[in-house]
A = this chain, B = another copy of it.
Amino acid sequence: MAATMKDLSRETGLGLATISKYFNGGTVRKKNQALIESAVKKLHYIPNEVARSLKTRQTRVIGVVIPELSNAFITSIISSMEDILRKHDYAVIVCDCRSDPKQEKEAVEFLLHRRVDGLINMATDPSGAHLRAALSAGVPVLLVDRLIDRLRGKVSAVVIDNISASHQAVRKLTELGHSRIGLVLGSPNLYTTSQRLTGYLNALTESGITPSDEYIRYGDYTMEGGYQAVLSLLCLKERPTALFVTNFEMTLGAMLALQHKGIRVPDDLSVIGFDKIELFGEIFSDLTLIRQPQQSIGKETALLMLDMLGNHDGISHRIVTLSTELTEGKSVRALK
């Protein structure tokens, strides 16, 4: 069986407290330090985090609940987040709930049983009901990418400024003379969907254009959804002259649909996409798009969580809003 501190104590002749202090950075006599170190080697001692957790009442584990692990946008966030968290000696348990609110709730409970110190959630259930237990248990909750209105003041969050991002993209198009601008959104009841819609509507109104539902489609944030949405937009008697597609997968689908229909970008149609995924950098390098700073989102999320974990007295719930960037490509041109 694995060696314990008691074994070290016996081996070195020192008391438990001394051994414990040694591991926790206390002051221990040089001689005893060496004694302990050699005993550790000899007995292959590995500290037992479980016992420590029980005593200190913190597991140094952060639970992360996301809608989908097979999603480049999400994994790039998680990747940079986990990196920082682990450097601070926090482990991350990731639960993929497959965009299913029921699974999401189970995941939260699962993590609560394991006494995670904090919860990071890209929420599937927009009502936030799944987080109630965590909140009432006093576990710090940090939302990523999607805000939940009802939880305002009770949780922290890291999001991008979706309204501005969308506004900026659409503004760009109206400035180039476009007025029939197709919008491809995600699922209707998601936070990002409604925010991006707002930005679109604002930009149009500002330019004196009356928005019409005809030009708005919901593509479910999937490639297939984007594909279908664009096909359907192309069927309008008055075709849009420009398109704004609001996430990466749908942008891929949209480009595919245009390609299949033999529509040239930007000659026949201007397109602004969303999200830049490392892997594809070069493939769609000539696409004009809104770029979210995934790296920073991950980093800010980790740091904010660390911060919440530190202020155990009065947790201050902050909302960090990161801004996006419009990357100029060659998929947009002025309306003739």
Chain A residues near B (Cβ < 8 Å): 2, 44, 46-51, 53-54, 59, 61, 68-70, 72, 75-76, 78-79, 82-83, 86, 89, 91-96, 98, 107, 110-115, 133, 136-137, 223, 227, 249, 252, 256, 278-283
Contacts and interface: CB of A to CB of B under 8 A. Distances in A.
A275 to B, nearest CB: 13
A256 B53 CA distance: 51
Given A47-B113, A48-B115, 14 more contacts: A46-B137, A49-B113, A50-B53, A50-B115, A61-B93, A68-B79, A69-B79, A69-B82, A70-B76, A70-B79, A86-B107, A86-B110, A94-B94, A249-B279
Copies of this chain in the oligomer: 2
Nearest to A259: B283
A285 to B, nearest CB: 10
A280 B280 CA distance: 11
Contact of A2 (B68, B93, B137): B137
A129 to B, nearest CB: 16
Contacts of A111: 91
B50 A59 contact: yes
A46 B283 CA distance: 50
Contacts of A78: 69
Contacts of A115: 48-50
A213 to B, nearest CB: 28
Contact of A75 (B70, B91, B281): B70
Given A91-B93, A93-B92, A72 B69 contact: no
A252 B72 CA distance: 16
Contacts of A223: 279, 281-282
Nearest to A294: B70
A91 B110 contact: yes
Top 5 A-B pairs, shortest CB-CB distance: A69-B79, A49-B114, A91-B93, A49-B113, A50-B53
A202 to B, nearest CB: 31
A2 B59 CA distance: 15
B82 A46 contact: no
A262 to B, nearest CB: 16
Contacts of A114: 49-50, 61, 91
A91 B61 CA distance: 11
Nearest to A68: B79
A54 B50 contact: yes
A268 to B, nearest CB: 20
| Most chain B beta-carbon neighbours within 10 Å: one of A46, A89, A107 | A46
Contacts of A49: 113-115
A110 B61 CA distance: 12
Contacts of A92: 93-94
Given A70-B79, A92-B94, A96-B82, A256 B283 contact: yes
10 contacts: A44-B136, A48-B113, A50-B114, A61-B114, A83-B96, A86-B95, A89-B110, A92-B93, A223-B281, A227-B282
